[in-house]
């Protein structure tokens, strides 16, 4: 399978951007035609997964609306600029050994070395990418669109929870590729549910160029123990919202509510709320009943619990481990802090490098938060739920990287490419 993927990838990389976009649109058309079959397969998976947690069931379940959104995301990927586009010949020569200060060599820039060679950079695919995911069958289609866009081959290995759904989606992808005459080996599915199949992918040096794991702590532990090929982790999301003393409280209520309740079982949902002590009383008094009405369980610190209870909100005392937990459910840890420095310290200790937001009308506080918080996406006056490839203009995403090497945050088509140097000379040799 991996040998076939590598051979197919070379053919895909030779295609023009227009041809790759045509293939992506053909995949979207095929998913649309096969919607009924995909939904029927998903019903099988959901029925078998009755014992799964609500968060996993939510990730597993496909609906007509979700499939329509998936199709739209795939078409959005096709409409984006070609990440491999570049000039075949050098552009205007920039004098000096390096690009000017404040610029980088790009697809449309070149510069001269001291021997007179002309140097440029060109984007190239990474090669064969393997995705190991659990209960999110939509991953198969989104990742296929992005790898087609960037000229990479894709090997999928979904969890046993999503077996039928993944097969139906990959069959639709194969139909779309066949319609445009593209080798179906550019997108393949490993159907073996055994743990050993994942280990084989993780050890396939020379055949797999990158593995992207998307799942829980168990999968990440397996990756840490077995990986011999490059890995970009897409780990847990312990996401924070800090409500500053200078926050617009109505805005803060809306942002907190959306970040926690809009879809609690996903990685960019809010898990820990930090509130400045200066506004804890009015803010928590309004927030508690609002979230309580939506079934949110609040796990409150000793300073926030009395405020919430005075407002008639039932809550339980927070334990230290609550601030290190990705609940993926209608559960929220609450902590009152003494200002921005305390909030920054808490996020540094307990965050997972995923997403953090500050709600404030103070531009200096906002800028300090945006500069100092170490997360793949930091937001000011916006919900953590916006850290998403579609919302950030990527069309779709391979996932949200919590690694810093190569990619950090939502990975779109460009993040599946790398630069190579192109040098043109007139007979120069090393002096």
Q: How far is CA 59 from CA 66, 69, 137, 140, 212, in A?
A: 11, 14, 8, 13, 18
Do 341 and 407 fall within a single domain? no
For the chain, give the mean pLDDT: 92
Domain for residue 391, yes or no? no
Beta-bridge mates of residue 119: 111, 423
Whether 107 has a pLDDT exceeding 60, the answer reads no
Do 159 and 229 fall within a single domain? yes
Do 148 and 260 fall within a single domain? no
Query: How confident is the model over 330-348, as a mean pLDDT?
Result: 98
Do 206 and 224 fall within a single domain? yes
Tokens of 21: 């976009």
To which H or E segment does residue 118 belong? strand 118-125
The separation between CA 206 and the C-alpha centre of its own chain, rounded to angstroms, equals: 26
Do 216 and 251 fall within a single domain? no
Of the candidates 219, 207, 208, 206, the one whose C-alpha atom is nearest the C-alpha of residue 158 is: 219
Chain segment 8-51, per-residue pLDDT in tens? 999 999 999 999 999 999 999 999 999 999 999 999 999 999 88
Query: How confident is the model over 320-342, as a mean pLDDT?
Result: 97
User: pTM (2 decimals)?
Assistant: 0.88
d(C-alpha 296, C-alpha 147), whole Å: 38
Give 128: exposed, middle or buried? Use CB within 10 Å, 0-12, 13-18, 19+.
buried
Ordered strands of the 270-276 beta sheet? 315-317, 297-300, 331-337, 270-276, 239-243, 355-359, 377-380
Do 247 and 343 fall within a single domain? yes
Domain for residue 87, yes or no? no
* Domain with 403 in it: 2-82+126-234+398-419
Domain for residue 428, yes or no? no
Predicted confidence at residue 111, as pLDDT, reads: 87
Do 195 and 297 fall within a single domain? no
The DSSP output letter for 372 is: H
Domain for residue 153, yes or no? yes
Tokens of 427: 């007979």
Do 65 and 190 fall within a single domain? yes
Chain segment 390-423, per-residue pLDDT in tens? 899 888 899 899 888 889 999 999 999 999 999 9
CATH number at residue 186: 3.40.605.10
Tokens of 60: 């597993």
Domain for residue 117, yes or no? no
Tokens of 315: 């809550």
Q: Contact at 8 Å (CB) between 243 and 276?
A: yes
Chain segment 226-267, per-residue pLDDT in tens? 999 999 988 789 999 999 999 999 999 999 999 999 999 899
Do 130 and 249 fall within a single domain? no
Count of domains in the chain? Answer: 2
Sequence-distant (≥ 6) Cβ neighbours of residue 398 within 8 angstroms: 129, 131, 142, 143, 146, 212, 234, 389, 411, 412, 415, 416
Chain segment 291-321, per-residue pLDDT in tens? 999 999 999 999 999 999 999 999 999 999 9
Alpha helices (runs of H) in 268-416, residue ranges in sequence order: 280-292, 305-310, 340-350, 363-372
Whether 104 has a pLDDT exceeding 60, the answer reads no
Output phi, psi for 132, to 5 deg: -110, 115
Domain for residue 392, yes or no? no
Domain for residue 105, yes or no? no
Do 319 and 230 fall within a single domain? no
Whether 100 has a pLDDT exceeding 50, the answer reads no
Domain for residue 94, yes or no? no
Chain segment 179-200, per-residue pLDDT in tens? 999 999 999 999 998 889 999 9
Of the candidates 46, 117, 107, the one whose C-alpha atom is nearest the C-alpha of residue 81 is: 107
Do 228 and 186 fall within a single domain? yes
Of the candidates 365, 38, 4, the one whose C-alpha atom is nearest the C-alpha of residue 153 is: 4
Chain segment 61-82, per-residue pLDDT in tens? 999 999 999 999 999 999 999 9
Query: How confident is the model over 106-121, as a mean pLDDT?
Result: 80
CATH number at residue 380: 3.40.309.10
pLDDT band at residue 86 under the 50/70/90 scheme: low
d(C-alpha 205, C-alpha 353), whole Å: 28
Query: How confident is the model over 124-128, as a mean pLDDT?
Result: 97
Of the candidates 355, 305, 358, 314, the one whose C-alpha atom is nearest the C-alpha of residue 334 is: 305
DSSP structure string for 56-67: HHHHH---HHHH
Do 147 and 220 fall within a single domain? yes
d(C-alpha 34, C-alpha 45), whole Å: 17
């Amino acid at each position: 399978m991996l040998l076939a993927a590598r051979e197919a990838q070379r053919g895909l990389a030779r295609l023009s951007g227009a041809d790759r976009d045509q293939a992506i649109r053909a995949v979207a058309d095929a998913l649309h035609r096969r919607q009924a079959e995909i939904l029927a397969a998903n019903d099988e998976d959901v029925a078998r997964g009755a014992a799964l947690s609500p968060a996993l069931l939510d990730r597993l379940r496909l609906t007509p609306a979700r499939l329509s959104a998936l199709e739209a995301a795939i078409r959005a990927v096709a409409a984006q600029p070609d990440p491999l586009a570049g000039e075949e010949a050098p552009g205007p020569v920039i004098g000096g050994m390096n690009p000017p200060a404040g610029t980088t060599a790009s697809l449309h820039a070149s510069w001269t070395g001291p021997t007179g060679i002309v140097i440029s950079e060109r984007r190239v695919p990474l090669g064969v990418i393997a995705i190991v995911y659990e209960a999110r069958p939509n991953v198969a289609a989104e990742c296929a669109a992005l790898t087609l866009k960037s000229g990479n081959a894709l090997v999928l290995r979904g969890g046993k929870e999503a077996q039928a759904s993944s097969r139906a989606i990959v069959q639709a992808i194969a139909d779309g590729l066949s319609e445009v005459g593209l080798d179906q080996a550019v997108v393949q599915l490993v159907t073996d549910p055994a743990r050993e199949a994942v280990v084989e992918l993780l050890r396939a040096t020379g055949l797999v160029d990158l593995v992207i794991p998307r799942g829980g702590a168990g999968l990440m532990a397996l990756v840490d123990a077995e990986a011999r090929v490059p890995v970009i982790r897409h780990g847990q999301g312990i996401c924070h919202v800090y409500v500053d003393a200078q926050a617009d409280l109505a805005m803060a209520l809306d942002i907190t509510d959306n970040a926690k309740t809009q879809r609690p079982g996903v990685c960019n949902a809010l898990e820990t709320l930090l509130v400045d002590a200066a506004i804890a009383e009015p803010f928590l008094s309004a927030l508690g009943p609002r979230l309580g009405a939506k079934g949110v369980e609040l796990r409150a610190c000793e300073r926030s619990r009395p405020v919430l209870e005075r407002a008639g909100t039932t809550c339980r005392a927070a334990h230290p481990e609550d601030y290190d937990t990705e609940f993926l459910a209608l559960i929220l840890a609450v902590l009152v802090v003494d200002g921005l420095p305390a909030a920054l310290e808490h996020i540094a200790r307990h965050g997972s490098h995923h997403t953090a937001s500050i709600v404030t009308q103070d531009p200096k506080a906002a800028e300090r938060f945006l500069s100092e918080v170490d997360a793949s996406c930091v937001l000011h006056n916006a919900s953590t739920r916006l850290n998403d490839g579609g919302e950030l203009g990527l069309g779709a995403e391979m996932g949200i990287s919590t690694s810093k090497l190569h990619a950090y945050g939502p990975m779109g088509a460009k993040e599946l490419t790398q630069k190579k140097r192109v040098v043109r000379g007139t007979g120069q040799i090393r002096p």
